Amino acid sequence: MIQIDRLFARFSLSMLMLSIVAGVTASFAYLFPATFNGILPFHQFRPIHASAALFWIITGAACCVSYFSKRRSATFMVIWMVSIVLIFISYFFNRYGGREYWEFPPLLNLPLLIGWLFFMAAFIRKFSEEAPVYTWMWTSGIIFFLLTFLEQNLYHVPWFRASFLREVTVQWKANGSMVGAWNQMINGLSVVLLMVIGNNKGPAISKKAYFLFFLGLFNLMFNWGHHIYNVPNNNWMRGVAYGVSMTEWIILILIIRDFRRTLDHGRKLRHLVVYRFISAAELWVFANLFLALLMSIPAINRHTHGTHITVAHAMGTTIGINTMLLLAAFGQMMDIDQIADRTKRWILFAIRLNNASLAVFWLSLILAGLLKGYLTVDHADAVFSEVMLKVRPFLEAFTASGLGVMIALGIIACIYLKNTGRISYEDD
Partner 1 sequence: MILFLIYSILVYVYSDQHGQGSSPSGAAYAGWMVWQEHNCHACHQLYGLGGYMGPDLTNIAADEIKGKPAYLKVFIKYGSANMPDFHLSDLEADQLLAFLKWVNDSGHSAVAKESVHWSGTYIF
Which positions lie near partner 1, rule CB under 8 A? 30, 33-34, 37, 41-44, 46-47, 96-100, 103, 147, 151, 154, 160-166, 168-170, 172-173, 221-222, 227-240, 242, 297-300, 302, 305-308, 311, 377, 380, 384
| Minimum CB–partner distance for residue 324 and partner 1 (Å) | 25
* Nearest alpha carbon to residue 307 among 262, 259, 250, 364: 364
| Minimum CB–partner distance for residue 312 and partner 1 (Å) | 12
| Minimum CB–partner distance for residue 11 and partner 1 (Å) | 25
* Nearest alpha carbon to residue 99 among 148, 55, 52, 153: 153
Nearer to partner 1, 200 or 230 (CB): 230
Burial 64-83 (b: 16+ CB within 10 A, else e): bbbbbbebbbbbbbebbbeb
| Minimum CB–partner distance for residue 109 and partner 1 (Å) | 14
* Nearest alpha carbon to residue 231 among 145, 167, 288: 167
Query: 3-class SS at 398?
Result: helix
C-alpha 378 chain-centroid distance: 32
Nearer to partner 1, 246 or 256 (CB): 246
Task: Report whether 138 contacts 183 (CB < 8 A).
Answer: no
Nearer to partner 1, 365 or 409 (CB): 365
Nearer to partner 1, 150 or 256 (CB): 150
Angle between helices 74-92 and 2-31 (to 10 degrees): 30
| Minimum CB–partner distance for residue 195 and partner 1 (Å) | 27
Beta carbons within 8 Å of 347's beta carbon, 6+ residues apart: 273, 331, 336, 411, 412, 415
Q: Which helix (H) or strand (E) holds 7?
A: helix 2-31
Nearer to partner 1, 38 or 342 (CB): 38
β-sheet bridge partners, residue 99: 102
Angle between helices 249-257 and 207-222 (to 10 degrees): 150
Nearer to partner 1, 30 or 346 (CB): 30
| Minimum CB–partner distance for residue 107 and partner 1 (Å) | 13
| Minimum CB–partner distance for residue 231 and partner 1 (Å) | 5
Nearer to partner 1, 6 or 166 (CB): 166
